[in-house]
Structure 1
Amino acid sequence: MTAPASSTTPLMSERRVSLIGALLVAIGPVSMAIYTPAMTELVQAFGVSPSSVKMTLTLYFGGFALAQLVAGPLSDALGRRPIIIAFMGIYCAASLLALVAPDIETLMTARFLQGVGASAGVAISRALVRDLFKGEESSRIMNLIGIILALGPALAPSIGGALLGLFGWRSTFVVMLAMGLGIISVAIFALRETVTPDRSRLNIRKLAGTYVMLLGHRHFMATALVMSGALGALYAQATFLPFILMDRVGLSPAQFGLGMLMQSGFFFASSLAVRYLMARTSAYNLVAPGLGFILLGSLGTLSLTLGALSFLHVMIPVAIYAVGIAFIMPAMSTAALAPFGREAGAAASMLGFLQMGSGLLIGSLGALMGDTVQAMALLIPLMGLTACIAYLVYRSHPHLAEPEPRAVMPAPRG
């Protein structure tokens, strides 16, 4: 049950929800991106194989994906604020464990627990938006979250590369610990509760029934698979790009961190363009062009099997794909959750699980293939194709949840 609020004045403004939502969403990708420059050094530091170091990222994804299925429903039953604080507490404890890890097994455990802690951010941020806003307001907030979200992963690899050169790989976990403590402070002092806690909803059978309902809901699954094929590719690429760009192209960790600005920079610029366009047309009208960019990026990625590798050969398709993600995210995030009020937390959790889970699945399949370049060239285009097919299914019944919002026009003066 949503917390009572005035019909004209929500509990929190669009700006506050956007900023808090962006912080919550960003903790997951930033914790991944700031760590990736150190992956090749960890092979030397612990004297292990690259596969073992890749497993630290895979376990992070696994914890992140699975725990979302718990975090969202817990926030429905116990409130958004206490669950954010509790999960960020797990994240901080895991960051401290990673900081002092004496071996790769301890680091694997810490990274898994970090993923568990960070998972609440994605699920609860979307639920907060769904609690307070609908339609174009929701799409605007999702877009602003995307803009702010782009800044974190854009800067994180560069920061990670610089920290690695100056202080060593353990320093990245000091930064993560500080981020976790910062989000706990924001939750305590700036976040207002948006639901009325209802402990009767802590019912595993009912929760399982809700998830079964979501998995069988054609509208939800169509929109969720659009998001999974698009946004999930970012997580899959994170398992491929460090080893392609550093081992095969020959970049140093610092150069890799700077190079990743190309992906995040294009996403950031495109999110700004989307915000401009949304003032003139519906966010839903931007999805088809976005999928066009994703198809173009997929074709470019497929070409990695042809000719010699170079930085631009790898990253131009990645950047184009990121443009497409910025175009589809506001409308599809809103559409996916639109039918679900009371189950907003569970729906947001399942949406996040499918996105992260798709990245985990593709990354794991890529590890089994052995050749990282071939894996990325074949599997990322498959994700783009999945997003396009799912969108065609969605378009066959586009109004199942709510009428697609029209562009918001300025109110007449008078």
Structure 2
Amino acid sequence: MTITKVEPVPRLQRARLAVVLGSLAAFGPLTIDMYLPAMPGMARDLHTNTPMVQLTLTVFVIGLAVGQVVAGPLSDTWGRRRPLLAGLALYVAGSLWCALAPDVGWLIAGRAVQSLGAATSVVLSRAIVRDLFEGTAMTRFFSTLMLVNGAAPILAPVIGGQLLAVASWPALFLVLAAFGGVLSLVVALALPESLPAERRRAGFRDTFGAFRVLVTDRQYLRYVLTAALMFAAVFAYISGSSFVLQDVHGLSPQQFSLVFGANGLGIVLFGQLNGVLVGRVAGEHALLRTGLGVAVAGAAGVLLCATADLPLPLLLACLFVVVSMLGLVLANATSLALAGHARSAGAASSLQGLLQFLVAGLAASAMGLAGQSTAVPMAATMAVCAAAALAVLMVMRARRP
């Protein structure tokens, strides 16, 4: 393990960093969740079907994966600020493109551009945390980010649902463009470079050569795959819940947004609980294992509710259990994965993002092929992915020397 000594960050600066980096990390869930209540209406307005509207979500997730693989390693050579500002400009342009899209084909193209910009913000927020923190302090800061980052799943669908009551779906993308513009200004004025020149990679060959080290690091892959599969379980809910809860169970867009926001609140609460417990009551690995065990139990409950057609309140309770565990799982898995890769934090963060969103996109696509006439495809995908995450953590251990 390579340890790079970093200077302690003052408390006031930590608070400012949490707001800015949490907002950057929130680009993914914010851009996905805000338009979820509009998806059924978008299918009608654009004269297309449900799978095509869901494809806009899948394309965005794939773009998040690809964009992170490019932006992360480049930032190890160029520093964090220049790629970050370029990505934010691309995000604003993609959001405006989506708002003006005349049909679903143009919307898919706009989502691809938007996703590449969002990917830069997501991957570099993690890399900047690794630049500035290490050990348990890094885990606690990732937990703190859940307070800001977790607000996106809470507020985004609520804002989206309420905005749809007075405007059509293009207004959602105009709001996202404005958010990207404001954050671009904040980063330009208030976020200093976190990777000094002496800690940067010598060139692109050296930067991309870091991937060879990462893909042979069994412990790194163990935690990255665990996080990716758990995220896929929650992403199955993100992708399918708008249709399951609105079309199958009859919730209005406003009711759905409140349910979705309540589950986002669970992510925040358990993220903060993790920050309190780690290093005091239990270590990262123990908390990670506990969170996955609870998530598997909750996913089994979701599958039982779907197959036995149990009452909606019970289904919602089980969904809350699964989704809220993401706040605990991601903070610990990310910290454990990045701990030994300080000099290649951008590459390590990008590979984590690639696997996380690639696995999630494949899971959502497989679920979409099964249809959305019942909750069973969503429930089965959540159960399989959560169980696989726990299996990877328990089975894929480092080889003894």
Alignment-mate amino acid for residue 388 of structure 2: T
- The separation in 2 between residues aligned to 1:272 and 1:102, in whole angstroms, is 42
Which runs of 5 or more residues in structure 1 are unaligned? 401-414
Aligned amino acid, residue 238 of structure 1: I
Task: Report the Cα offset of residue 356 of structure 1.
Answer: 1.2
**Distance in structure 1 (CA, Å) of the matches to 2:98 and 2:393:** 40
Partner of 1:116: 116
The answer as to 2:114 corresponding to 1:139 is no
Distance 1:122 1:233 in 2: 19
Q: How far off is 1:16 after superposition? A: 2.9
Q: Which residue does 2:288 correspond to in 1?
A: 287
Counterpart in the other structure of 1:343: 344
Give the deviation of 1:252 after TM superposition. Answer: 1.4
AA in 2 matched with 1:362: A
How far the C-alpha of 1:136 sits from its partner, in A, is 1.0
Length-normalised TM-score, structure 1: 0.89
1:327 alignment partner in structure 2:
328
Letter in 2 for 1:241: S
Deviations 1:144-174 (A, max 9, x none): 0012211121111011011111111111011
Query: Could you tell me whether the CA contact under 8 Å between 1:11 and 1:132 is conserved in 2?
Result: no
Alpha-carbon distance in structure 1 between the residues aligned to 2:171 and 2:364: 26
Q: Supply the RMSD in Å over aligned alpha carbons.
A: 2.3
Equivalent residue number for residue 59 of structure 2: 59
Q: Distance in 2 between matches of 1:237 and 1:398?
A: 35
- 2:166 is paired with a residue whose SS is helix
Give the Cα–Cα distance (whole angstroms) in 1 for the partners of residues 11 and 76 of structure 2.
17
Q: Is the 8 A contact 1:304 1:314 kept in 2?
A: yes
Aligned position for 1:267: 267
Among 375, 379, 385, the residue aligned to 1:373 = 375
Matching residue of 1:188: 188
What is the Cα deviation at residue 398 of structure 1? Answer: 10
1:94 aligns with 2:101: no
> Size of the alignment, in residue pairs?
394
Structure 2 unaligned segments of length 5 or more: list them: none
> 2:235 — aligned with what?
235
1:44-72: per-residue Cα shift (whole Å, max 9, x none)? 11111111111111111111111110111
Give 3-state SS (helix, strand or coil) of 2:29's partner: helix
- What corresponds to 1:162 in structure 2? 162
Which has the larger displacement, 93-102 or 320-329? 320-329
**Which residue does 1:214 correspond to in 2?**
214
CA contact (8 A) 1:17 1:128 kept: no
TM-score of the superposed pair, with normalisation by structure 2: 0.92
Alignment of 1:295-310 (within 5 A): 295-308=296-309, 310=311
Distance (Å, rounded) in 2 between the aligned partners of 1:32 and 1:207: 30
Matches within 5 A, 1:382-401: 382-393=384-395, 396-397=397-398
Q: In terms of mean alpha carbon deviation, does 24-33 or 294-303 score higher?
A: 294-303
Counterpart of 1:339 in 2: which secondary structure?
A: coil
Cα drift, residue 213 of structure 1:
3.2
Structure 1 position 121, deviation (Å): 1.8
Amino acid in structure 1 at the alignment position of 2:246: M
Shift of 1:344: 0.7
How far is the alpha carbon of 1:279 from its aligned partner?
6.3
Could you tell me how far 1:311 is from its partner in structure 2? 3.4
Q: Could you report, residue by residue, the CA deviation over 1:365-398 in whole angstroms, capped at 9, with x for unpaired residues?
A: 111222462221221111111111121135x449
Counterpart of 1:380, as a letter, is M
List structure 1 runs of 4+ shifted beyond 6 angstroms.
none
- Pair 276,213 (structure 1): closer, same or farther in 2 beyond 3 Å: closer
Distance 1:277 1:7, change over 3 A: closer
Are the aligned partners of 2:306 and 2:315 in contact in 1 as well (CA < 8 Å)? Answer: no
Shift of 1:138: 0.2
Tell me if structure 1 keeps the 8 A contact 2:34–2:159.
yes
The structural deviation recorded for 1:236 is 2.5
Q: Is the 8 A contact 2:147 2:268 kept in 1?
A: yes
Change (3 A) 1:9 1:265: closer
Output one character per residue of 1:180-228: Cα deviation in whole Å (capped at 9) or x when no partner: 012211211111101135584223xx55543343223211110011111
Contact 2:76 2:207 (C-alpha < 8 Å) held by counterparts: no
CA contact (8 A) 1:87 1:117 kept: yes
Return 381-390 or 282-291, whichever deviates more.
282-291
Aligned residue number for residue 405 of structure 1? none
Larger displacement relative to structure 2 (134-143 or 258-267): 258-267
- Please state how far the C-alpha of 1:251 moved relative to its aligned partner: 1.2
Give the AA of the match of 2:264. Answer: S
Return the alpha-carbon distance in structure 2 between the equivalents of residues 362 and 212 of structure 1: 26
Change (3 A) 1:11 1:280: closer
- 1:269 is displaced (CA, Å) by 2.0
Letter in 2 for 1:357: L
Q: 2-side partners of 1:264 and 1:11: how far apart?
A: 26
Distance between the aligned counterparts of 1:87 and 1:292, measured in 2?
37
How far has the Cα of 1:276 moved from its partner? 2.8
> Distance between the aligned counterparts of 1:399 and 1:26, measured in 2?
38
Residue 17 of structure 1 aligns to which amino acid in structure 2? L
What is the CA distance between 1:343 and its match in structure 2?
1.1
